[in-house]
Amino acid sequence: MELIRFPFRRIGKEYLGTIWRPYAMVMFRGPNQRWISVEMVVDSGADHTLLPGRYASLLGIDLRACIKRATAGVGGPENIYLYTSLTVSLGSWQKKVPVGFLGRDDVPPLLGRLGFLESLDVRFRNHQTTFARP
């Protein structure tokens, strides 16, 4: 069983303690067949995998061809542009997953549950994220 590990990143110290955030390097291949590497926050609370809008053009995706949906998160209401099937790779694991694009670039890429995290065994421990195929 292939195990893929990524260290957390220390974000800073706050009143209640030090904040550590889980990141992972993920590869995406768009309709233009170009692979791009994206450093993403591993977000078990995110329904969808979300990328800032700039990645759509890098992958050859026209946001006007995507399904536009309203959503809300900690930052408030937002429109996302859903692309139903984008090839992703994490180590040797590869799958087509739905990905949402935001219309802006000032948010971090989020690795979410639908089609992605729910397809893997994910463990957060000792400031490290471990992915394994079930």
In the numeric block, which tokens belong to residue 119? 């397809």
Look at residue 1 in the predicted model and tell me its pLDDT: 64
Look at residue 81 in the predicted model and tell me its pLDDT: 96
- For the segment(s) 3-106, the CATH number from 2.60.40.10, 2.40.70.10, 3.40.50.720, 3.40.50.2300 is 2.40.70.10
The residue ranges of the chain whose pLDDT is under 70 are 1, 74
DSSP state of 106: S
Residue spans of the domains in the chain: they are: 3-106
What separation in angstroms does the CA of 37 have from each of 50, 59, 74, 75? 14, 11, 26, 25
DSSP state of 7: E
pTM: 0.90
Look at residue 123 in the predicted model and tell me its pLDDT: 96
User: Helix, strand or coil for residue 109?
Assistant: coil
